[in-house]
Structure 1
Amino acid sequence: MKPRYEEATLLSEEILKNFELTEIPTQNIVLKCLRLARLINDFDSVEWLKNEANGYETSEQGFLTATAWKAAAKSGRRYFIDDPNSKKDKKEKVERAFTDTIAVMEANVNAAKARMEVAYDRNVSLSSHSTFAPSIPPTNASERNSIFKIIQDNTGKIEKVKSRLYQYVFDVNYELKFADITEDIFTRKRNTVDSKLKDICPEAIQKFISVYENLKSDNDEDWANAVHTCRRIIKEVADSLYSPSENLIELPGGKKLKIGEDQYINRLIQYIESKSTSDKFASIVGSHLKFIGERLDGVHEAANKGTHAEVTLEEAERYIIYTYLVLGDILSL
């Protein structure tokens, strides 16, 4: 997918330049916007831009289809007028949409401009020996006003649609660049964690591969399995860094802390506190570790009881990222 997103980023930059420098006709820009939507698998926008590129679909009765009506709203094509069928003193408003394609409206503007060039008033020379003033030929002012209205109306509609197209491309460009920055940051963190895991817990690398495979599934049980695997990875790291013990640790205040086989979070927190020279760092990482540990344990316990813990794909992805970030902090000590 990365080459597609790289192409999409470059294309979005190119389209913004086309808009800002008025380099090509807007209809050509619409087609480039359609390709951009296809590259990023934005299927809703593909349907919208297909209407913009190919014309708005109508039903057998001559009304816009539901998809076309929705697309008209996204393009800023819908507007309100007084209901011509209303018999009330105060007219009710009804919503309509203009449906000419950008190509048609641009052609209307170009044709009107050509007409305007020949609609000027001819120079007239009048002379007469009559005592009556000669009649002055009528001007083309009325025609020019009519042509101007065509230009103004079509240009206004084009600019409405252009503003929506520009905003769409601008937003996509921003999201692609932000995602790229975020991905670079996470990739560096992941590479650091993977490198250190190879030394202390090489089996964890293979488990992370299993996690990624589960995320490709459409089955929520596989997403839950990805979360289970994150728990096993953290536990294996705990076993490598701070072995379990049946002995209890006495905390300040006299409280006893278990650090047995199942208390892997407690063991990691003890490891952090023993290695970190910053109480604040230990506190922050410890709180993050407790949070993710409680959630992972909850999913694990539900599975042990034979019940199904509901895990969404977004949630599974979030805990995988949390796992990497927490392990990165721990392994940096």
Structure 2
Amino acid sequence: MLVSQSRSEHILELAKELLDDIELSRLSAEALLLKASRLARWVGSEEVQRWISFEMSGYNGSDATSLKFMGKTGRWTKKDEKKGYWGPLAQHEAAIEAENIKLRSMTTPNTGGDAGLAVMRMHQQQLAATTNYIAILSGIRSRVFSLLHSFVTDVYYEKEFDSLSESIFERYKSDIDTLLAAHAGEILKQIPSVMSRLSEDDPESISQALTTVRRIIESFADSIFPPTDDTIKIGDNEVSLGPNRHQNRINAFVHQRVESKSRKAKIRQNLSNLYDRVSTGVHRDVTAEEARSLFLNTYLFLGEVLHIGEVQNAEQD
């Protein structure tokens, strides 16, 4: 795999290649199974890996996955007696080829009388048996390829969606970083320390990280709406904008730039919840997962507020 290629990109590329391999019949069954096994290993699908191993080396009657895929691939002849086609896919493909050669070599006997009729019936029985055997093995092969195709398709579209989501997030993240650099550059310098502490997963580091997140919110308020002795009326409330009124000043910034009452209310509630949870988390145990969620939500919240300012500036221009 190329160093510059992410894991998700590699999986997506491999899945796309496999879809083409299956649909265009570009690979032998054995090569296809080996490639599909690599994809299953990359995405962590243990059941598919195990199934493919049976397709390559043969099935057995004691493994649950083996028995499950005996049914899925149509291998049973008498399931209650555990009779079926236990061999690997390559063996069945070789048998299909051999039976087709045999079928092409069969010629209609040219004999007469009662003996001729008996020979003709035997010939027809052999012809029917060979044709039926080819049909059964071909059916197994078709089911195997269908299961492979379904597995690969699911992986492909899942990773295609993941890739799109990553792309959308990366673009939005770039926008937020640009806005933070322009309006609150000091905050960007604090983000690496938060991420480093959150990766350590111990309570002390998490507490320190959340302390930094709270300071980021406060620094953000100072950057976009510096403290003042003035007040502002938001709804029916006269709101103080002093040094310790960080939430009030962020809300005032939003209030001056957003017309929608419902959006202002949602932003105000989101800020209140974030600040409360971050402040509380500083003094009590929170999980690393919760702390990372709080940091990410804070980061996205700052981006939303800054975008509000940018939209208004663009409208004024």
- Residue matched to 2:259: 279
1:142-157 mapped onto 2 (5 Å cutoff): 142-157=125-140
Whether 1:328 aligns to 2:315 is no
Following superposition, the deviation at residue 135 of structure 1 comes to 3.6
Following superposition, the deviation at residue 242 of structure 1 comes to 1.8
Following superposition, the deviation at residue 247 of structure 1 comes to 6.5
- Residue matched to 1:63: 62
Change (3 A) 1:125 1:76: closer
Q: In the aligned structure 2, how far is the partner of 1:96 from the partner of 1:226?
A: 62
Q: In the aligned structure 1, how far is the partner of 2:65 from the partner of 2:203?
A: 31
- How many pairs were matched up? 302
Identity %: 24
Whether 1:104 aligns to 2:91 is yes
Q: In the aligned structure 2, how far is the partner of 1:223 from the partner of 1:80?
A: 60
Q: In the aligned structure 1, how far is the partner of 2:209 from the partner of 2:75?
A: 46
1:184-223 mapped onto 2 (5 Å cutoff): 184-214=167-197, 216-217=199-200
Give the conservation status (yes or no) of the 8 Å contact 1:231–1:293.
no
Following superposition, the deviation at residue 143 of structure 1 comes to 1.3
Give the conservation status (yes or no) of the 8 Å contact 1:239–1:264.
yes
1:86-101 mapped onto 2 (5 Å cutoff): 99-101=86-88
- Residue matched to 1:136: 116
Following superposition, the deviation at residue 310 of structure 1 comes to 3.6
Whether 1:290 aligns to 2:258 is no
Whether 1:31 aligns to 2:34 is yes
Q: 1:214-237 deviations in whole A, cap 9, x for unaligned? A: 555566876676565444323321
- AA paired with 2:22? F
- AA paired with 1:331? L
Q: In the aligned structure 2, how far is the partner of 1:210 from the partner of 1:298?
A: 20
- Residue matched to 2:315: none
Paired residue secondary structure (2:116): coil
Q: In the aligned structure 2, how far is the partner of 1:49 from the partner of 1:212?
A: 40
- AA paired with 1:323? T
Paired residue secondary structure (1:136): helix
Change (3 A) 1:310 1:7: closer
TM-score, structure 2 length as denominator? 0.77
Q: In the aligned structure 1, how far is the partner of 2:91 from the partner of 2:292?
A: 46
Of 4, 11, 14, the match for 2:17:
14
Following superposition, the deviation at residue 309 of structure 1 comes to 2.4
- AA paired with 1:20? E
Q: In the aligned structure 2, how far is the partner of 1:53 from the partner of 1:215?
A: 44
Give the conservation status (yes or no) of the 8 Å contact 2:181–2:188.
yes
Paired residue secondary structure (1:308): coil
- Residue matched to 2:314: none
Structure (1/2) with the larger helix percentage: 2
Give the conservation status (yes or no) of the 8 Å contact 2:214–2:275.
yes
- AA paired with 2:62? F
- AA paired with 1:44? E
- Residue matched to 2:216: 233
Of 164, 184, 204, the match for 2:147:
164
Give the conservation status (yes or no) of the 8 Å contact 1:109–1:154.
yes
Q: In the aligned structure 2, how far is the partner of 1:220 from the partner of 1:117?
A: 75
Change (3 A) 1:174 1:96: farther
Give the conservation status (yes or no) of the 8 Å contact 1:224–1:311.
no
Of 274, 279, 285, the match for 1:300:
279
Whether 1:265 aligns to 2:267 is no
Q: In the aligned structure 2, how far is the partner of 1:196 from the partner of 1:270?
A: 19
Structure 2, gaps ≥5 residues long: 310-317
TM-score, structure 1 length as denominator? 0.74
More deviation in 221-230 or 287-296? 221-230
Following superposition, the deviation at residue 16 of structure 1 comes to 0.9
Paired residue secondary structure (2:285): coil
Structure 1, gaps ≥5 residues long: 85-94, 127-132
- Residue matched to 2:312: none
Paired residue secondary structure (1:309): coil
- AA paired with 1:192? D
Following superposition, the deviation at residue 323 of structure 1 comes to 3.2
